[in-house]
Structure 1
Amino acid sequence: MPFDRNPRRASVRRMTQPRSSSSPVLVAGASGTIGRAVVRRLVADGHAVTALLRPGGDAAQLPELSGAAIAHAALSDKTALAQLMERLAPSCIISCIASRSGAPKDAEAVDYAANLALLEAAQAAGARQFILLSAICVQKPLLAFQHAKLKFEARLAASGIDYAIIRPTAFFKSLSGQVKRVKAGKPFLIFGDGELTRCKPISDDDLARFIVSAVGNPEMSGRILPIGGPGPAISLKEQGELLFRVAGKEPRFKSVSPMLFTRAERLLNLGAGFSDWFAEKAEYARIARYYATESMLVLDPATGTYSPDLTPEFGSETLETHYRRLLEGG
């Protein structure tokens, strides 16, 4: 699978220029944060959009899906999914589905099996394109959900369908968990000195624009596309400093050692061979350690280090703007 190493903003802007299209598109995972933003962007761009929800999913509770047709199907029900695809005959599938927990069984069922069922039903119905929302962290796969995502990426690339694999860096949502802490006067939690990791976070709307720009776009065809938001790359401590500045407060930090997660994993692993509960909790500890110690940037294969320069940038919304909106109650 070709890997896009070109980080120049001009190149990204040229590749993502708006294109006139009214292709029928089906969005799986449409009830999720990014899925809703993708549906909203598709509708705004004039596509005929179907938002795929779980059986029983209530579109009335999701105003972002306004303007899209609504369909319900369980991705585990291959017969119902095939019938739905045959009836809708979408030209393009956009998959924004992802396991909620990252636990091994959940990852295998969602990140791999559900995506595979979606792909097979789409191909049987004659779909021409499949766009996958993946994750930049699969570059260094140490976790169950990363292996599941990579396994599906490989199946997608070998399927013969036109595809694009989008690997975003951190979402704004994932960097917002401490807003309430800071607002309440509590210290911002960092791992180590707060400089262990960096990322170029991207907003929901900017990521949605990037994903939608791949629809029918030959420049993005057959490619793995890592993407971040407006730089520069920011460390965890810098995120805290930014949040305190926006909140008008003096910075206060509390350091947590990533070794805490290592010790928890070792302890939980003692019972992992006898209990699924222990196995899942051990995986959660591994996930926590991973995000505490690994940057969400492009991994330079030449050096084995994370590279801000190789991480493409897209969009205009900044983390500062997002923090201001949250602190104002938005």
Structure 2
Amino acid sequence: MSTVLVTGATGFVGSRLIPELVAAGHSVRAMTRRPEEYGGPGEPVGGDVHDPDSLGPALAGADVAIYLVHSLGDDDFEAKDAAAARAFGAAAAEAGVRQIVYLGGLGADGQELSAHLRSRREVEQLLGEAGVPVTVLRAAIVVGHGGISWELTRQLVKNLPAMVVPRWVGTRTQPIAVDDVVGYLVGVVDNERALGRVLEIGGPDRLTYLSMLQIAAEEMTGRKVPIVQVPVLTPRLSSYWLALVTDVDVTTGRNLIDSMGTEVLVTDDSVRSVVPREPLTYREAVRRALAERESDSS
């Protein structure tokens, strides 16, 4: 088995991933800016992707590095994420890491992408610039308790008896349960068939954002929510609207909304031959997210 460094160890995906990597027999190093506060499985190590000097010690001895960080809540997130990816890739090469695994974003090559999705593509390239093979898993919305995109959906349904929504709710996407994302991440670690490849991952459902809101409403309230679409509601106005009715900040909301006008669907299912699994439906992912929230609050 391998020694695996996980960045973003305390985050939405990282905190779920580390126990599964340990269960699979890997030796896990959990990279965090405050290792003294880390209470999860694995060995805590100090490191910050925005501090290049901290990366060498964190990566020393690692066979595989999993990169799960981004600066979406920062106004200058593209520049910050580019600098961090370049530094991390260089440090990984220097440390002799043999694979970097990155969770990126779906969107067809050649498609006009939002700043958020363009940044994800740039990070893919920069992580491998120094020569370490990169495995990219591209996903759309990840559904699970505590995830930003799911929290937007849950809080909108919870806080609004009816909604006036922009036209981007008609855009199709392919949501995926966080449990499936974790399963795919574990499956590509030190997997020779995944080295240097871009693999698209998604659940079985292709849904509009409107459909996703309605399914969430049905699971949360047992009924549909009245929704009226309006033709003009800019990303900036949408982000202020989200900030009023959810606890997601304006900058993060705007960066997410910018991507919601782009259809993001799986176009290549070759991941099935690399990591065979049957992903959960969106409805089941919603049920699990709600159950986990209820369990956490009890």
CA distances 1:69-122 after superposition (whole Å, capped 9, x unpaired): 001122233223223333xx101111011113263x22321x221122121111
Deviation at 1:48, TM superposition (A): 0.2
Offset of residue 134 of structure 1:
1.3
Q: Deviations over 1:239-271 (max 9, x none)?
A: 233223323533222334363216859xxxxxx
Q: What aligned pairs does 1:3-152 form with structure 2 within 5 A after superposition? A: 22-55=1-34, 58-60=37-39, 65-66=40-41, 68-86=42-60, 89-101=61-73, 103=75, 105-109=76-80, 111-137=81-107, 139=109, 140=111, 142-152=113-123
Matched, 1:288 2:257: yes
1:171 is displaced (CA, Å) by 0.7
1:233 aligns with 2:241: no
Paired position in structure 1 for 2:244: none
The AA in structure 1 aligned to 2:193 is E
Aligned partners of 1:39, 1:249: CA distance in 2, in Å?
35
Rg (Cα) greater in structure: 1
Distance in 2 separating the partners of 1:256 and 1:289: 17
Partner of 1:268: none
Q: Which moved more, 1:70-79 or 1:312-321?
A: 312-321
Unaligned runs of 5+ in 1: 1-21, 266-280, 299-306
Q: Deviations over 1:145-194 (max 9, x none)?
A: 43333223223444332221111121113134233443467125643394
Runs of 4+ that moved beyond 6 A: 281-284, 309-313
1:312 Cα deviation after fit: 6.6
Tell me if structure 2 keeps the 8 A contact 1:169–1:226.
Answer: no
- Distance in 2 (CA, whole Å) between partners of 1:286 and 1:46 is 37
For 2:279, the aligned partner's letter is S
Deviation at 1:287, TM superposition (A): 4.7
Q: How many Å apart are 1:47 and its aligned residue?
A: 0.1
1:119-268 maps to which residues of 2 (within 5 A)?
119-137=89-107, 139=109, 140=111, 142-172=113-143, 173=147, 174-183=149-158, 186-187=161-162, 190-192=165-167, 194=169, 196-229=170-203, 231-257=204-230, 259-261=232-234, 264=237
- How many corresponding residue pairs? 274
TM-score (structure 1 length as normaliser) = 0.72
Query: In structure 2, how many angstroms separate the alpha carbons of the residues matched to 1:185 and 1:57?
Result: 40
Amino acid at match of 2:115: A
Q: Give the 3-state SS of the residue equivalent to 2:121 in structure 1.
A: helix
User: Sequence identity of aligned pairs in percent?
Assistant: 24
* Offset at residue 141 of structure 1 (A): 5.0
Between stretches 146-155 and 199-208, larger displacement belongs to 146-155
Q: Name the aligned partner's letter for residue 71 of structure 1.
A: V
Offset at residue 236 of structure 1 (A)? 2.0
Is the contact between residue 3 and residue 63 of structure 2 (CA under 8 Å) also seen in structure 1? yes
